[in-house]
Structure 1
Amino acid sequence: MSSNQAQISTLLRKSLLGELLDTQFYLFSARSKHGNIRVAAEIRSLFANDEGLTAGSKFFSGLLSAKTLKDPALIEVPLEHHPASEEILSLNDYGYASDSDLDEGEEEDETNETVQDNEKLELQANVSAGTTPLIKNYATKGVYRTTPNRKILVTDTAFNTWQALLYYLYTDEIVFAPLRSQGSQTAAQLGLGKPPPCSPKSMYRLACKIEQDVLRDKALAAIQSSLTEHNILQELSSSLTSRFPLILEMEVESLFQHITSATVMNDFPTFIKRIGGADLPHGVDILIKLHERMLRQHYPRVFSPEPPSSKSSESEYDERRMRGGGSGRSGRGNRRSSRGRRDWSD
């Protein structure tokens, strides 16, 4: 029996004894508009077994063993309270406005209420003080069979991404949804018997944060396999590309491979104008990387000059001999001949 199969067997046995649930996580699941501000909204719940998480993750080992949370994106929730499903958080505070794992929610009507600059502090204060109303029965239909030992509000990761992460730590299985730039809608849930899909870009961001290297590489490979001439310029324009140099380098390589395609040739002038107009904060980095890639292709000696060969050394030696600057016996012989001629002239 593999380690993952043994872990799943353990979790099943614990579920029979009512010992499965240790920690409850609350996460935003949608993106909507509140007045004139884009926000993360619609909090949903996930339940986890601590042993199942800590067995394969140093991040969760430290998180779940710590008495206080050091990560500012994580907020401790009193056991007797729940964050309200109506709670919102500005996408600036969320940290990833274009997160593909946030569903598109309904736009709220303009009201007199506004999202304050210190909204995240207010959210944390409300949760910690237990002043938020009880959560609506949104994702956890039915009555709780057990009470978790700890509740944590995660404010920088989407529900779909976190759910896929927990499933991966339990089973070592991961399924990535198509990129939105591929023209496909986010993959639908595949049923309880299948891994929950998530965006490879969202998972790459999370895997880098929690130092889950194998999962990070899987997400990076999924992003790379999704790049085509039809979406490479759009992906280069994403905020995620500006934050992670490895993704930038990979996407510039893809751009170079498709640089002569009809789609790229048609859209590239507009892309360059966006860089010139400062629409892309990382546009200069893209051009620098593209220039370096072109030099490596057409002028490889610029990056790896060839060392002097033995043949060139011999040519330099012969040239010195012809100029009278040689060494060894021939040099000494020349000097003796010179002295002899001077003696004869005297």
Structure 2
Amino acid sequence: MTLHKAMDDEWTSTGVKSKFKLTIPDDPSLATDSMSEVCGWGWRFRFDIGPELRTTSPRVLAANSSIIPWRRISVHFDPHLVRGAAYGRITFQTAVDNLVRLEDEPPDPPIDLPDDSGYNYSLGVYMRRGDMDGVPSMTISVQFAAALGMALPLPRNSRVEAALAETIRGEETVDIKFYAYTRIGVDYASRPQTMFAKTTLMMGHSDALDDYISGGAGFAESKMVDLNVDGSPDERFAEYDYMSDSDLDPESEDEDGGVHVDQVASSSENSDSHSLISRPSIDPAPSPQASVSRRMGRVLVVKGYAFKTWNAFLYYLYTGKLVFRPPGSRVPVNTTPLIPECSAKSMYKLADAFGLDDLKSLAFRSLHSQLSAENIVREAFSSFTALYPEVQDVEVEVLMAHLPNLKQQLSNMLRTACDGSRPHASSILEKIIYRTEFQSAPVSVDSPPRRKGRRY
């Protein structure tokens, strides 16, 4: 049997769809097997073909009662490169053309990753009847929990074509340099890192985002500079508007090549400027020799979103792919390092600000899937939840569903809300108290209310 991939992998919000066409040998006694190329993030499928089993296989009769020969095809899933990935439970859906599934075969079972058993998992047994015309094919959808937040890659559209045309004309492949902060201290964000992007590829997703990157908000004070020699912003930024951003790492967690917080404080004391407000600083003009390699563009210091969030956002704008990290987790869930991970909370905030409804829905579904009895009290009373009534609604529903087992946790949280430690908790308290007034309206976890953007 020869196996051909009939199309590129199709990515959806919950999984990856692969389609294969099969060429079956004419010799009915011949047994063969074929392994597919790598699909998705690193898995494969194996197709085994053999003759019908005379003792156990059903007999297929034509209208004149003559026996119709058929071939037996077994399909298996091989986790391969993702066998050790923390993807959790994955499920399968299959659809076939010019094949028939044997009725005595059970439905495709779910499997749990990581898995170290070394087995290939059966996705069913099918028959190819001798009287069938047309090329046999099978479409297999590998589906993940919504918390992983995958999305369909963007097709080559007018933005991509325009960017390619610009490179043909000799224009730069990047013309924006972003700085975004990576760490959080006491009332400040710190340690900015750089990212680069192409304006053409970022435009056209929403009016609010277009305004932000074209000068209406994001580049109000910027000008064209040499991106190769532009200076970095201040190490600390004291006006970060969301200090509980879950994509900012604690300042105390040092890393190789980073600047320790004590070093930052020391350098600030010896500096002429003690301002913690971030702004681009441009180095003196380069020498004539250095100017040969100049790359002109604009610089934007991202003041409301962490480096991880903005990095994942840029990747999503380019590819449509996105991976959400479980709340509080520092362990990567994605074995493909090219796809950056981020917090669903942080991305929800960004998508809401820029009016990106599809991205907001992905983050919303991930947020809902991550709620559990272990974290619902903490999440419901968080400063993030206080910002969004639609998030409050689904979290109150989950809280009430687990309420019998949460009385002590809830009592402790209510005390902190009543003593003034959580001034943002008034709205969630009101919804808990008056739950009966809003529970008659169904809460959608797929389509959060649309809002206009421009909340940077």
Please give the range of the TM-score, normalised by the shorter of the 2 chains.
0.5 to 0.7
Identity within the alignment, %: 26
Q: Paired residue for 1:20, among 173, 185, 188?
A: 173
SS at match of 1:76: coil
Q: Residues 183 and 248 of structure 2 are in contact (CA less than 8 Å); yes or no, is this contact kept in structure 1? A: yes
Q: Deviations over 1:178-236 (max 9, x none)?
A: 111xxx325367445x4211100000111111111111111111111101110011112
Return the alpha-carbon distance in structure 2 between the equivalents of residues 112 and 45 of structure 1: 21
Tell me whether 50-59 or 213-222 shows the greater mean CA deviation.
Answer: 50-59
Return the alpha-carbon distance in structure 2 between the equivalents of residues 206 and 246 of structure 1: 15
Q: Residues 42 and 85 of structure 1 are in contact (CA less than 8 Å); yes or no, is this contact kept in structure 2? A: no
Q: Paired residue for 1:70, among 214, 217, 227?
A: 217
Residue in structure 2 matched with residue 280 of structure 1 by the alignment = 422
Return the alpha-carbon distance in structure 2 between the equivalents of residues 71 and 235 of structure 1: 31
Residue in structure 2 matched with residue 326 of structure 1 by the alignment = none
Return the alpha-carbon distance in structure 2 between the equivalents of residues 296 and 61 of structure 1: 36
**1:251 pairs with 2:400:** no
Q: Paired residue for 1:108, among 248, 258, 261?
A: 261
Question: Do the aligned partners of residues 27 and 55 (structure 1) sit closer, same or farther apart at CA in structure 2, a change above 3 Å counting?
Answer: same
Name the amino acid aligned to 1:6.
R
Q: Residues 242 and 281 of structure 1 are in contact (CA less than 8 Å); yes or no, is this contact kept in structure 2? A: no
SS at match of 1:256: helix
Q: Which has the higher contact order (CA 8 A, sep 6+)?
A: 1
For residue 19 of structure 1, report the CA deviation from its aligned partner. 3.6
Q: Residues 233 and 301 of structure 2 are in contact (CA less than 8 Å); yes or no, is this contact kept in structure 1? A: no
Q: Residues 44 and 85 of structure 1 are in contact (CA less than 8 Å); yes or no, is this contact kept in structure 2? A: no
Name the amino acid aligned to 1:5.
P
Residue in structure 2 matched with residue 179 of structure 1 by the alignment = 327
Q: Residues 75 and 152 of structure 1 are in contact (CA less than 8 Å); yes or no, is this contact kept in structure 2? A: no
**1:94 pairs with 2:251:** no
Q: Residues 57 and 169 of structure 1 are in contact (CA less than 8 Å); yes or no, is this contact kept in structure 2? A: no
For residue 113 of structure 1, report the CA deviation from its aligned partner. 5.2
SS at match of 2:295: coil
Q: Deviations over 1:314-336 (max 9, x none)?
A: xxxxxxxxxxxxxxxxxxxxxxx
Name the amino acid aligned to 1:187.
P
Q: Say which structure is richer in strand.
A: 2
Question: Do the aligned partners of residues 241 and 3 (structure 1) sit closer, same or farther apart at CA in structure 2, a change above 3 Å counting?
Answer: closer
Return the alpha-carbon distance in structure 1 between the equivalents of residues 377 and 249 of structure 2: 23
**Paired residues for 1:238-317 under 5 Å:** 238-261=382-405, 264-294=406-436
Return the alpha-carbon distance in structure 2 between the equivalents of residues 111 and 24 of structure 1: 28
SS at match of 2:341: coil
Return the alpha-carbon distance in structure 2 between the equivalents of residues 117 and 56 of structure 1: 38
SS at match of 2:304: strand
Aligned pair count?
Answer: 268
Question: Do the aligned partners of residues 82 and 230 (structure 1) sit closer, same or farther apart at CA in structure 2, a change above 3 Å counting?
Answer: same
Name the amino acid aligned to 1:70.
A
Q: Residues 327 and 370 of structure 2 are in contact (CA less than 8 Å); yes or no, is this contact kept in structure 1? A: yes
Q: Residues 204 and 216 of structure 1 are in contact (CA less than 8 Å); yes or no, is this contact kept in structure 2? A: yes
Question: Do the aligned partners of residues 79 and 205 (structure 1) sit closer, same or farther apart at CA in structure 2, a change above 3 Å counting?
Answer: same
TM-score by length of 1: 0.66
Name the amino acid aligned to 1:207.
A
Return the alpha-carbon distance in structure 1 between the equivalents of residues 190 and 373 of structure 2: 34
Name the amino acid aligned to 1:277.
D
Residue in structure 1 matched with residue 50 of structure 2 by the alignment = none
Name the amino acid aligned to 1:195.
I
Return the alpha-carbon distance in structure 1 between the equivalents of residues 390 and 274 of structure 2: 33
Return the alpha-carbon distance in structure 1 between the equivalents of residues 411 and 153 of structure 2: 53
Task: Name structure 2 gaps, 5 residues minimum.
Answer: 1-7, 9-151, 255-259, 287-291, 441-456
Runs (4 or more) in structure 1 with deviation over 6 Å come to 12-18, 114-117
Question: Do the aligned partners of residues 249 and 197 (structure 1) sit closer, same or farther apart at CA in structure 2, a change above 3 Å counting?
Answer: same
Q: Paired residue for 1:149, among 291, 297, 303?
A: 297
SS at match of 1:167: helix
Residue in structure 1 matched with residue 317 of structure 2 by the alignment = 169
Q: Residues 183 and 189 of structure 2 are in contact (CA less than 8 Å); yes or no, is this contact kept in structure 1? A: yes
**Paired residues for 1:180-199 under 5 Å:** 180=328, 184-185=329-330, 187=332, 190-192=335-337, 194-199=338-343
Task: Name structure 1 gaps, 5 residues minimum.
Answer: 135-143, 301-346
For residue 71 of structure 1, report the CA deviation from its aligned partner. 4.9
Return the alpha-carbon distance in structure 2 between the equivalents of residues 203 and 248 of structure 1: 17
Q: Say which structure is richer in helix.
A: 1
